[in-house]
Structure 1
Amino acid sequence: MSRHVVGITLDNLEHLPQRCRRCVYWELAPHLKEQVEEYGDTEVEKEAWISAVLLEWGSCGRIAYSEELPVGFVLYAPPSAVPRSTAFPTAPVSADAIMLTSFFVLPEFRGAGLGRMLVQAAVQDLTRRGVTAIEAYGDEDPETTSGEREHTCVVAADFLRSVGFKTVHAHARWPRLRLELRAGLSWKEDVEAALDQLLGHVSVAAVGSKERTAGRV
């Protein structure tokens, strides 16, 4: 079964699950979120946020597909573009990091590596752009039944750890975790880089040998 990942744009934003398109947990300050949910259109606000981040900063997410079916997505942005980022007890996000906000994989596709693939796609995008780290708030109790519905928007801390994030500010419920992007590069990229370096040395050595041979003629 073919799987691939593409960047989020305004053209494919409709491929996010409807409840995620309507969720502005990260995109608006808490008091504004409540006002929009009561009097406004959260889907319009979500689109406006995506549009602004794309224009002012660039690519801010990835969508995963299985064949033609969208099965998961990840969103990320500078913490300055994420009003909710300062509302956690483990705030603030480090100045050198980009913040991972929303993350979702359809339940029936979980456990097949799609979550890791989405994180890897984000790592590759941000590494190319010179970013050194990604941080995220984790939820230590994502299965809570305490009625905190809004907090379903926070990624499970155990998942973040499983894909390489390390805790930088511990908390019983809302730890802040960090992924250094060199550590997040795939083994394939590391091997390719090593081969490029090796081949470069071989080429230099070969050129030097030819020059010495020519000098003896």
Structure 2
Amino acid sequence: MRELRPLTPDLVPDLVGACAPCTFWQTVPHNGHGDPDDPHDLLTDWIETVTADWGPPGRVAYVDGTPAGHVVVAPARHVARLAAFPTSPSDPSTLMLVTAITTPECAGSGLRKALVQSAAKDALRHRMRSLEAVAARPLAVSRHTCVLDVGFLEKVGFRVERDHPAYPRLRIDLRTVVTLRDEAAAAIARVLDRVPGVRPVPETHPNGSSHAHVTDRG
């Protein structure tokens, strides 16, 4: 079964990636050192704060009950690390795509694109007109793994809003993506359809989570 759950504090242990749980975007360096607080506690508090102000800041993807990836979005006012980038937005209400990452087993499956589409779908629910991201070009030095690459974002429809040799800011105009709601659901189904032995039957539940029930093909 494929499932996308809203990011809530209790799901912090299910975040994936080499440095998960990661607080890169939620914190800024202090005298050259990271924040001394426990990353789990920091993320838990951050998710609670963003949820109270805006809503769940992302989704966690599961395949057969196992965490497979996640996407994080939040208004710029809640993304402290943006202050360290020369292309950070001036409007604190700008909705930012913070990161989208999957496990190595899901690399190339299309799951990361589906996660970005689900974030855009959530943004539309909030009546947002656009979604932005600070991303890295190949010239970026010491790029953190949580910083998305420009090439990936351009492939999924983002365009450069403010250019920079290393860290441009990109934007997707959600008003022009008229089929985004249908594409987000269909993308999840297509990804799961590549897994041998299962067939997805996606449905949306009242709580906003997307489920894909599967049946044997044999």
Give yes or no for the alignment of 1:46 onto 2:43: yes
Query: Which residue number in structure 2 is paired with residue 97 of structure 1?
Result: 94
Distance change in 2, residues 1:52/1:44 (3 Å): same
SS of structure 2 residue aligned to 1:152: coil
Higher normalized strand content (fraction of residues)? 2
Q: Which moved more, 1:177-186 or 1:77-86?
A: 177-186
Once residues 98 and 33 of structure 1 are traced to their aligned partners in structure 2, the CA distance between those partners, rounded to angstroms, is 28
Query: Which residue number in structure 2 is paired with residue 207 of structure 1?
Result: none
Once residues 178 and 14 of structure 2 are traced to their aligned partners in structure 1, the CA distance between those partners, rounded to angstroms, is 27
Query: Which residue number in structure 2 is paired with residue 4 of structure 1?
Result: 3
Q: Report the Cα offset of residue 24 of structure 1.
A: 1.3
Pick the structure with greater CA Rg: 1
SS of structure 2 residue aligned to 1:30: coil
Q: Report the Cα offset of residue 83 of structure 1.
A: 1.0
Q: Aligned residue pairs: how many?
A: 183
Contact 2:60 2:70 in 1 (8 A): yes
Distance change in 2, residues 1:25/1:185 (3 Å): farther
Contact 1:101 1:154 in 2 (8 A): yes
Once residues 181 and 37 of structure 2 are traced to their aligned partners in structure 1, the CA distance between those partners, rounded to angstroms, is 47
Q: Where does structure 2 lack aligned partners over 5 or more consecutive residues? A: 184-218
Once residues 102 and 157 of structure 2 are traced to their aligned partners in structure 1, the CA distance between those partners, rounded to angstroms, is 18
Give yes or no for the alignment of 1:139 onto 2:170: no
Q: Report the Cα offset of residue 5 of structure 1.
A: 1.4
Once residues 184 and 44 of structure 1 are traced to their aligned partners in structure 2, the CA distance between those partners, rounded to angstroms, is 37
Residue type of the alignment partner of 1:26: W
Q: Report the Cα offset of residue 22 of structure 1.
A: 3.2
Q: Where does structure 1 lack aligned partners over 5 or more consecutive residues? A: 191-217
SS of structure 1 residue aligned to 2:164: coil
Query: Which residue number in structure 2 is paired with residue 157 of structure 1?
Result: 150
Contact 2:16 2:102 in 1 (8 A): no
Higher normalized helix content (fraction of residues)? 1
Give yes or no for the alignment of 1:168 onto 2:165: no
Residue type of the alignment partner of 2:94: A
How high is the TM-score relative to the length of structure 1? 0.75
Once residues 63 and 102 of structure 1 are traced to their aligned partners in structure 2, the CA distance between those partners, rounded to angstroms, is 12
Kindly provide the CA deviation profile for residues 76-130 of structure 1, in whole angstroms up to 9, marking residues without a partner as x: 1110111111221222255663011122111221111111111111111110111
Query: Which residue number in structure 2 is paired with residue 57 of structure 1?
Result: 54
Q: Identity across aligned pairs (percent)?
A: 34
Q: Report the Cα offset of residue 21 of structure 1.
A: 3.8
How high is the TM-score relative to the length of structure 2? 0.74
Q: Which of structures 1 and 2 has the larger relative contact order (alpha carbons within 8 angstroms, sep 6+)?
A: 2
Q: Report the Cα offset of residue 187 of structure 1.
A: 6.0
Distance change in 2, residues 1:185/1:108 (3 Å): farther
Contact 2:17 2:101 in 1 (8 A): no
After superposition, the CA RMSD in angstroms is 2.4
Query: Which residue number in structure 1 is paired with residue 115 of structure 2?
Result: 118
Contact 2:47 2:56 in 1 (8 A): no
